[in-house]
Amino acid sequence: MMRPPQGAGYQPSKQMKVAVYHNNNDIRIEHREVPKINDNELLVRIKASGICGTDLMEWYRIQKGPRVLGHEISGDIVKAGKNVKNFKIGQRVFATHHVPCNECKYCSEGNHTACEALHNGNFEPGGFSEYVRVPEQNVKFGTFLLPDNVSYEEATFIEPLACVVRGQRIVNLKKNHNVLILGSGVSGLLNIQLAKLNGAKATATDISDYRLKKAIEFGADRVFHSDEFDNEINEYKKNFSKENFFLNKFDRIIICTGAMPAFQQAFKSVDRKGTILFFAIPNKNIEMPTLDFWRNEITYTSSYGAAPNDLKESLKLILDGKINVKDMVTHKLPLDKIQEGFRIMADGKESLKVLIEP
């Protein structure tokens, strides 16, 4: 069916398709009314929406279902409230689902991702739909115009890359640091690229030979199959030298997988005074080696989400071509085939980023 041209005269239909998540194997296409906006809001027609690794965290998502997921979005403004001054119909935009209030104690201390508004806000109904309503707070602090040379597909990486920017800032990753990245999916590959851009030495692991190959392509200095990592490290310990020390102990470890063995590998591989970043989390509590934590002064920390300044930095990294996100897109599917997209992501054999294009 032909769609009318976009622009000042474009009028969205009254009905739209949405993908309603019940569980990873039960995502239902439904028809709903297109959201209505008030004078301070935007209506955006989705052009691309990425399936995030967290969307597949069934143990986390299922308790909030049924709902429309999808938060890595880009699209076109098709309606703008009369009080909206910085945006107009027809513009290409990226919008983030979580925005801080910029007024509370957390925001004033630079801890925007701890803000209650950030955790409670969202656009309606979610990115796996044909249209979303962007609330006033998100219009003010979480909507960005896309430069002409940033595609809709690339724009879906602004939010996940911003999370990486924030995570590496939290752990104060520096030039010449030896960083171990456990898990070489999309978040792992973004962490590899940013670590290398910041002058660090990057070692990566994964259970997939396909993703280990991608880790090398995206800049990792060394890669190890997860099952062989412990043995390889032990060999390096036996043949200790300054040259191979960065493959023995690590200043920074970034966990980009929820697989339990990765956490044990992190605890065994961190150097004295080192930092372990829980970029991903497991589905159950973990036991940490408290003696090493105390005696070796190890730092365990986590990161969640991204603040507006992280999003701005992320967009600039993509715009300037310093982080390659385009080559991470392996699949593009229509909304009707989102269940297949979840299956491809969960299977993980030869896939990285799966995009939904409503």
DSSP string over 225-242: EGGGHHHHHHHHHHT--T
Of 107, 200, 170, 199, give the one whose Cα is nearest residue 300. Answer: 170
pLDDT(5) > 50: no
Q: Give the CATH number, domain containing residue 54.
A: 3.90.180.10
The whole-angstrom separation of Cα 184 and Cα 218 is: 10
User: Quick one: pLDDT band at residue 224, thresholds 50, 70, 90?
Assistant: very high
Asked if residue 314 belongs to a domain, the reply is: no
pLDDT band at 244 (very low <50, low <70, confident <90, very high): low
Cα–Cα distance measured from residue 155 to residue 223, given in angstroms and rounded to the nearest whole number: 28
Residue 229: give its domain's CATH number: 3.40.50.720
Same domain for 135 and 192?
no
- Closest CA relative to residue 125, chosen from 32, 216, 212, 203: 32
Q: 107 with 26, same domain?
A: yes
176 and 152 in a common domain: no
Asked whether the beta carbons of 237 and 231 are under 8 A apart, the reply is no
Count the alpha carbons within 13 Å of 181 in the hemisphere toward its beta carbon: 35
Residue 211: per-residue pLDDT: 96
Same domain, 149 and 215: no
- Residues 96 and 26 both lie in one domain: yes
Q: What is the pLDDT of residue 62?
A: 82
- pLDDT of 106 strictly over 90: yes
**Is 110 within the bounds of a domain?**
yes
Q: Is residue 170 part of a domain?
A: yes
Query: Are 175 and 290 in the same domain?
Result: yes
Q: Are residues 122 and 223 in the same domain?
A: no
Peptide bond into 66 cis (omega under 30): yes
Q: Hunting for tokens 């973004």 — which residue is that?
A: 190
Indicate the pLDDT class of residue 1, thresholds 50, 70 and 90: very low
* Structure tokens belonging to residue 84: 């909206």
Give the pLDDT confidence score for residue 141 in this predicted structure: 92
3-class secondary-structure state, position 72: strand
Do 139 and 186 fall within a single domain?
no
Asked if residue 188 and residue 136 are part of one domain, the reply reads no
Place 9 in a pLDDT band, splitting at 50, 70 and 90. very low
Q: Pick 232 or 96 by higher pLDDT.
A: 96
Kindly state whether residue 312 falls inside one of the protein's structural domains: no
User: Does residue 148 lie within any of the structural domains?
Assistant: yes
Distance CA 112, CA 97 (A): 14
Q: What is the mean pLDDT of residues 21-46?
A: 96
pLDDT tens track for 283-300: 999 999 999 999 999 999
Tell whether 116 and 200 lie within a shared domain. Answer: no
Token digits of residue 122: 């969202």
Please give the residue range of the domain that contains residue 278: 164-302
Looking at per-residue pLDDT, the higher value among 182 and 62 belongs to 182
200 with 334, same domain: the answer is: no
Domain-terminating residue out of 287, 302, 317: 302
Higher pLDDT pick, 350 / 236: 350
DSSP class of residue 146? P
Model pLDDT, residue 4: 41
Residue 47: pLDDT over 50: yes
Judge whether residue 8 has pLDDT over 90.
no
Percent of the chain with pLDDT over 70: 92
pLDDT digits over 158-210, tens only? 999 999 999 999 999 999 999 999 999 999 999 999 999 999 999 999 999 99
Whether residue 316 is contained in a domain is answered as no
Instruction: Tell me, yes or no, whether 232 lies in a domain.
Output: yes
Residue-level pLDDT at 2 = 37
| pLDDT higher than threshold 90 for residue 65 | no
User: How high is the pLDDT of residue 90?
Assistant: 97
Average pLDDT over the chain reads 91
- In the chain, the amino acid numbered 163 is C
Out of 5-9, 279-283, 321-325, 350-354, least confident range: 5-9
Q: What's residue 347's pLDDT?
A: 87
Q: How many CB atoms lie within 10 A of CB 86?
A: 10
- 228, pLDDT greater than 90: no
Give the mean pLDDT of 53-77.
90
Give the integer Cα–Cα distance in Å for 314 and 320: 10
Count of all residues that appear for the chain in the document: 358
**Spatial distance between the Cα atoms of 116 and 247, rounded to a whole number of angstroms:** 40
Whole-number percent of the chain with pLDDT over 90: 82
Residues 254 and 295 in one domain: yes
CA distance 46 to 239: 54
Q: How confident is the model at residue 121 (pLDDT cuts 50, 70, 90)?
A: confident
Residue that is written with structure tokens 């070692």 in the block = 203
227 band by pLDDT with thresholds 50, 70 and 90: confident
313: in domain: no
Count of structural domains within the chain: 2
